[in-house]
Structure 1
Amino acid sequence: MKAVALALALLLLTGCASGLRIDTSHPSVGHDSRVQFVIMHYTSADLERSLAILTGNGVSSHYLIGSSPATVYRLVEEDRRAWHAGDSEWNGRTWLNATSIGIELVNPGFVDTPEGRLWYPYSEQQIDNLIVLLRDILTRHGLEPGAVVGHSDIAPQRKVDPGPLFPWQRLAEAGLALWPDAQQVAAAQPGFAAEPPTIAWYQEQLAAFGYRVPRHGEFDEETRSVIAAFQMRFRPERFDGQPDAQTAAMLAVLNAGR
């Protein structure tokens, strides 16, 4: 059967090359976009270096947004696979290059100093243009706000971009990302403080939200990294990876609202 199928496929390809007419008058409604996620990155480089890297034969992304001016560059067509996610997972889907659009923002990332790690902010124009671009992408591909995630979400053991200064809450206010309701978090937090959840609970909740996380109930380094990635996105003022009542309340509220 495999040989027959291969032969038919080759005949079809040969026919197309020789002018075969294909009837397209019966389009199916049983399909959706190959794009399931939009993944946010920073470049850790200036514009010139970012363009050189992203237009070479290694890493790539669909879009690059400069800083000043915040020009939006399309580097890869959306129907093509860009190489920006690597070893990654979200909501059970793995190796997300095939199912995602990658957006890189020109940003140095961070610098380590004697006083600690300093992160570089994004420009207002960058985020303004990003919001317009994201709204267009989500509309065209029929995606919900939960489809927009960070590189640190899909690869928390390897990546920290787009970093703690990326304005997730601003995107959420524009209807383009998820954010926990502050009043609900405040109401839930005392209960988690009085009776802290187990590590197994955190692992189950993080997995339900979308992260790849161990499910063995032990607080190992891998679990700590996932908690830190979640905190960096939703509580960027402190993302040490330590489970606490506020983190638990945010997780519970986000999962209850999905």
Structure 2
Amino acid sequence: MKAFTGIIALALLLTGCAGEKGIIDKAGYQLDVRRAAQAAYPRVKVLVIHYTADDFDTSLATLTDKHVSAHYLVPDVPPLHNGKPRIWQLVAEQELAWHAGASFWRGATRLNDTSIGIELENRGWQKRNGVKYFAPFSAAQIAALVPLAKDIITRYQIAPYNVVAHADIAPQRKDDPGPLFPWQALAAQGIGAWPDPQRVAFYLNGRMPDEPVDTASLLDLLARYGYDVTPEMTLAQQKRVIMAFQMHFRPARWDGVADAQTQAIAEALLEKYGQR
């Protein structure tokens, strides 16, 4: 009888533990989650913005095949349901999507491992007479993107300088989302980085915006901000890095030429957000 009473008491004790706050019952074991480690950090640190360079149906098919993926796809004109724009989630945020490819940002590689990717349905660029012309983004698409991006940034406490273009993290391969993406307007809503105009003017220091500057000095600034700059880069590769920066922060001129305005913007960004 005493043995039976002991078994009952043990069962009641275990039952009490299972119902205790911070104790989770699993099949064959229990988890105690009452003590969380302080040295724990979210996997997601970067938000990468892309364009699909195709229509919605083709983009959806591409992003759901076996070769490439992204967490979200935002249509050019999202359909409204109960007054809200609909966005397609293709990969759960806790899972890795293959959207960044070979990439580098602020000393980190393998950005797929630490980022969330948002694809925007957009035709990308077409070349006419040797000149690239980029397709604009619709107001409805950007309006749908804003709350999604804000939610992601808040969930993972993503720093402004880690909201980036695909071109920022892979400038030798990518142009997206291009110079028509409204980075400045989004930064005003808390999405991404943008330099303070008065500090840009301070660093411009009376120079003409298109005054040539030393390319190596500019590239040093861009490397300190986060771009992949290496000593063995060719002149064409250097130009691609400068062009990616300009498409993001100086969209009025993105020819890849090192000039005073680009340099002043880079200095103002480093002052505001620090270096990697």
The two structures share one fold, judged by TM-score above 0.5: yes
1:206 Cα offset (Å) = 0.5
Corresponding residue SS for 1:22:
strand
Cα contact 2:127–2:133 (8 A) shared by 1:
yes
User: 1:46 — aligned with what?
Assistant: 55
User: 2:215 — aligned with what?
Assistant: 199
Cα gap change, 1:203 to 1:71, in 2 (>3 Å): same
**Higher alpha-carbon Rg:** 2
Q: Which moved more, 1:154-163 or 1:187-196?
A: 187-196
Q: Deviations over 1:66-99 (max 9, x none)?
A: 1122531110000000000000000000010000
Indicate which of 248, 260, 263 corresponds to 1:248: 263
- Report the TM-score, using the length of structure 1 for normalisation: 0.87
Corresponding residue SS for 2:30:
coil
Equivalent positions of 1:154-165 (< 5 A) are: 154-165=169-180
Within 2, Cα distance between the matches of 1:210 and 1:254? 11
Unaligned runs of 5+ in 2: 1-24, 79-84
Unaligned runs of 5+ in 1: 1-15
Indicate which of 43, 50, 75 corresponds to 1:34: 43
Cα gap change, 1:183 to 1:17, in 2 (>3 Å): closer
State the one-letter code of the partner of 2:203. A
1:210 Cα offset (Å) = 0.4
Corresponding residue SS for 1:118:
strand
1:196 Cα offset (Å) = 6.1
State the one-letter code of the partner of 1:28. A
Cα contact 2:47–2:158 (8 A) shared by 1:
no
Corresponding residue SS for 2:243:
helix
Within 2, Cα distance between the matches of 1:127 and 1:49? 20
State the one-letter code of the partner of 2:166. H
Moved over 4 A (4+): 191-197
User: 1:79 — aligned with what?
Assistant: 94
Indicate which of 87, 92, 95 corresponds to 2:110: 95
2:233 aligned with 1:224, yes or no?
no
Within 2, Cα distance between the matches of 1:172 and 1:142? 15
Equivalent positions of 1:173-192 (< 5 A) are: 173-190=188-205
Q: Deviations over 1:33-73 (max 9, x none)?
A: 10010000000111101110111111100001011225311
Q: How many residues were matched structurally? A: 242
User: 2:19 — aligned with what?
Assistant: none
Within 2, Cα distance between the matches of 1:93 and 1:235? 24
Q: Deviations over 1:117-156 (max 9, x none)?
A: 2211111111111110111011111112111000000000
Q: What percent of counterpart residues are identical?
A: 45
